[in-house]
């Protein structure tokens, strides 16, 4: 059984705060690490897919880093806005397969 | 922007009944998936489908489950005889390629088995 864990489970921040959360995953048989953003009643939306150790990706105020040797990825949000409120899911992809193993998500709430 | 659509958004059924959950993936995508999330638990993989056949399935995807792409646009998940524990949000997803590619998810079908 693959273990993918995210922390914290939930996070409340003020508008303008920067924040980060963690995804830990197995360091063996790694192929890719996915981050998704999921707003209530909407579809999960892909943010990043990272495949190389040391990868850093950025999309606007959101960025992510990847350490495959130690099995973790960080997601950073700079200057949080209320519209960033969502659940952020990471998913581990093993061996170039189709199956994603998801973490439990971090629920972010940004107060105006 | 193209999107994955799922119908119905909610489905209520009696235990033992058959249900079919429907999905229309993005038109030029080749890889199709079903995932589900039981309330309070992690999103779980059920099955992947490529070239008109199942390419991978999880332990959850037993003989009660089947998938089909009947007409080149729809992608369906059938549960033959629903159990209480099948109650979950079911997500369809599609992708252009396998291996390190983004998946595009639908907004889900909430299945409630009574």
Mean pLDDT of A84-102: 90
Q: Of A64-68, B54-58, B75-79, which range is least confident?
A: B54-58
Confidence of residue B73 (pLDDT cuts 50, 70, 90): confident
Mean pLDDT of B31-41: 96
Residue A47, min C-alpha distance to chain B (Å): 8
pLDDT digits (tens, 9 = 90+) for A17-43: 999 999 999 988 899 999 999 998 899
Q: Of A59-63, A98-102, B59-63, which range is least confident?
A: A98-102
pLDDT at B70: 86
Residue keyed to tokens 């059984």: A1
Three-state SS for B9? Answer: coil
Give the closest residue to A20 by CA, choosing from A35, A8, A37: A8
| DSSP single-letter state for residue B55 | E
pLDDT at A98: 67
pLDDT digits (tens, 9 = 90+) for A43-88: 999 999 999 999 999 999 999 999 999 999 999 999 999 999 999 9
Lookup: tokens for A44: 């999960």
Q: Is the pLDDT of residue B22 over 80?
A: yes
Question: Beta A86-94 vs A30-38: how paired, if at all?
Answer: antiparallel
B106 and A43: CB-CB below 8 Å?
yes
B103 and A100: CB-CB below 8 Å?
yes
B42 and A93: CB-CB below 8 Å?
no
Considering only residues A72 and A95, tell me which one the structure prediction assigns the higher pLDDT.
A72
pLDDT at B13: 97
Q: Is the pLDDT of residue A97 over 80?
A: no
**Cβ-proximal residues to A60 (8 Å cutoff; 6+ apart), any chain:** none
Lookup: tokens for B54: 């199942």
Residue B109's alpha-carbon distances to A41, B9, B42, B91, in angstroms, are 10, 4, 16, 7
CB pairs under 8 A between A and B: 61
In DSSP notation, A37-104 reads EE-TTS--EEEEEE-STT-EEEETTEEEEEETTTTEEEEEESS--GGG-EEEEEEEEETT-S-EEE--
The Cα A39–Cα A37 span in angstroms is: 7
Most B CBs within 10 Å, among A9, A33, A98, to test the B interface: A98
């Amino acid at each position: 059984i693959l273990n993918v864990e995210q922390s914290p489970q939930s996070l409340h921040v003020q508008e303008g705060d920067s924040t980060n959360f963690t995804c830990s995953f197995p360091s063996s048989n790694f192929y890719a690490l996915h981050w998704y953003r999921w707003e209530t009643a909407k579809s999960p939306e892909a943010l990043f897919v990272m495949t190389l150790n040391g990868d850093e990706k950025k999309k606007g105020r959101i960025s992510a880093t990847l350490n495959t040797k130690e099995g973790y990825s960080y997601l950073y949000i700079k200057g949080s806005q209320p519209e960033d409120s969502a659940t952020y899911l990471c998913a581990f992809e093993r061996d170039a397969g189709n199956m994603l193993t998801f973490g439990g998500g971090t629920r972010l709430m940004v107060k105006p | 922007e193209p999107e994955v659509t799922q119908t119905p958004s909610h489905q209520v059924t009696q235990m033992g009944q058959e249900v079919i959950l429907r999905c229309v993936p993005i038109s030029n995508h080749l890889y199709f998936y079903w995932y589900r999330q039981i309330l309070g638990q992690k999103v779980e993989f059920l099955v992947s489908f490529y070239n008109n056949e199942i390419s991978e399935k999880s332990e959850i995807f037993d003989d009660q489950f089947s998938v089909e792409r009947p007409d080149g646009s729809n992608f369906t998940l059938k549960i033959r005889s629903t159990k209480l524990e099948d109650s979950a949000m079911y997500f369809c997803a599609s992708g252009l390629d396998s291996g390190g590619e983004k998946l595009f998810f639908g907004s889900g079908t909430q299945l409630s088995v009574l």
